[in-house]
């Protein structure tokens, strides 16, 4: 095996890993920015109604709209799962 070839391959792998890490950080930042968007339903109030289904949840609605969705037996607007509960979220 050529030593130069191994070095080039290693350098390429590191660049790919670095690019993947940067992409993950960008996705994470985009997810955080999305939390600042208004409620997906009313487009007015802040997202503070965590829609719970099973062991996961989506924070896409205000508390009022999230409760309304659950009361109306509507599914989660993100994944279409049955809504088991709504939790009010306080961000500090």
pTM: 0.65
Cα three-residue angle 60-62-64, rounded to 5 degrees = 135
CA 82 vs CA 2, 32, 65, 79: distances in Å? 58, 25, 15, 9
Tens digits of pLDDT across the chain (92 residues)? 576 777 777 777 788 777 776 766 666 666 676 778 999 999 999 999 999 999 999 999 999 999 999 999 999 999 999 999 999 999 87
- Token pair of 66 as six digits: 């999230």
**Bridge partners for 6 per DSSP:** none
């Amino acid at each position: 095996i050529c030593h130069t070839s191994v070095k080039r391959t290693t350098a390429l792998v590191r660049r790919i890993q670095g690019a993947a890490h940067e992409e993950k950080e960008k996705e994470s930042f985009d997810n955080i920015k999305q939390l600042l968007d208004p409620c997906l339903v009313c487009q007015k109030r802040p997202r503070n109604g965590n829609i719970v289904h099973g062991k996961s949840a989506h924070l896409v609605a205000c508390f009022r709209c999230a409760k309304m969705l659950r009361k109306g037996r509507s599914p989660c607007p993100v994944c279409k799962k049955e809504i088991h509960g709504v939790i009010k979220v306080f961000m500090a």
